[in-house]
Amino acid sequence: MNVPRQHQEQVPLKGARARTRKLMLATARQMMQEGLSPSVSEVAEVAEVSRSTAYRYFPTKEAMVRAVVGEALGPILEWSSGAQDPEVRVGDLIRFSFPRIVRNEATFKAALRTELEAQASAQPKIDGEPLRGHRMDLIDRALEGVAPSEEKDRLKFALATLFGVEALTVLRDICGLDGAESQEVVAWAAEALTRAALSRN
């Protein structure tokens, strides 16, 4: 989900408006953690907020889900590493972000479901952007300094398949691993891919 960094792009709400928005987000997140994919009006009903008020904060379901995911991602969006070796940075990124992905697994699955539903119904994306996305920006940060090449591009695309709830779903639901085991498999695979790609770059 292409999540805006709220402190950079939005003026923070205050008072009752901030509390109402926080209540809406907390309610939506709880419903998503329960495996639901709620609409704005459904969240408003559970939160006991009027629908007209709710839609002033979140004009679409996608806008609401985008905000929920932004909060769930939290510090992941601000990740950086002082390591000089790209392989080490890639491993750092996985180990920094994966525990939060595990804790918010149901939320991210609900966000994925929302995007798939939007694609199936040909709904326009907010600002013309896909609903999910900051992973490529994070991968670019991890690979900073690596010279552009086709090999680097392939590596970025390969790492994108490992970074996110999709890989966690396979490892937990199909392979039967727990969160910590899944993290180490993903980190191992990401580091091995990076090492192999950079040795050929």
pLDDT, position 110: 87
Is residue 175 situated within a structural domain? yes
Does the structure show a pLDDT above 90 at 93? yes
Lowest mean pLDDT among 25-29, 63-67, 123-127, 132-136: 123-127
Which pLDDT band holds residue 51 (cuts at 50, 70, 90)?
very high
Number of folded domains in the chain?
2
Same domain? For 19 and 63 the reply is yes
Does the structure show a pLDDT above 70 at 79? yes
Report CA Rg, the chain.
18
Residue 56 sits in which domain range? 6-70
DSSP secondary structure letters along 91-144: HHHHHHHHHHHHHTHHHHHHHHHHHHHHHHTTPPPGGG--SS-THHHHHHHHTT
Polymer length in residues for the chain: 201
In the listed set 24, 40, 70, which residue is the last one of a domain according to the structure? 70
Residue 75 C-beta-side C-alpha neighbours within 13 Å: 9
Same domain? For 54 and 84 the reply is no
Q: What is the pLDDT of residues 4-26, one digit of tens each?
A: 444 344 556 677 889 999 999 99
- Give Dmax over CA atoms of the chain in angstroms: 58
Same domain? For 53 and 85 the reply is no
Domain CATH number, residue 35: 1.10.10
Is residue 42 situated within a structural domain? yes
Same domain? For 63 and 82 the reply is no
Is residue 100 situated within a structural domain? yes
Does the structure show a pLDDT above 60 at 144? yes
In the listed set 70, 95, 117, which residue is the last one of a domain according to the structure? 70
pTM for the model stands at 0.78
Percent of the chain residues topping a pLDDT of 70: 87
Q: What is the pLDDT of residues 107-131, one digit of tens each?
A: 999 888 887 877 777 655 544 455 4
Pair 27, 15: CB distance under 8 Å: no
In the listed set 18, 36, 70, which residue is the last one of a domain according to the structure? 70
In 3D space, the residue among 138, 156, 133, 131 whose CA is nearest the CA of residue 95 turns out to be 138
Same domain? For 59 and 82 the reply is no
Which pLDDT band holds residue 174 (cuts at 50, 70, 90)?
very high
CA distance 56 to 119: 24
Distances (CA, A) of 170 to 115, 166, 174, 179, 200: 19, 7, 5, 11, 29
CA distance 10 to 5: 8
pLDDT, position 156: 97
Distances (CA, A) of 178 to 108, 117, 175, 182, 184: 17, 28, 9, 6, 10
Is residue 148 situated within a structural domain? yes
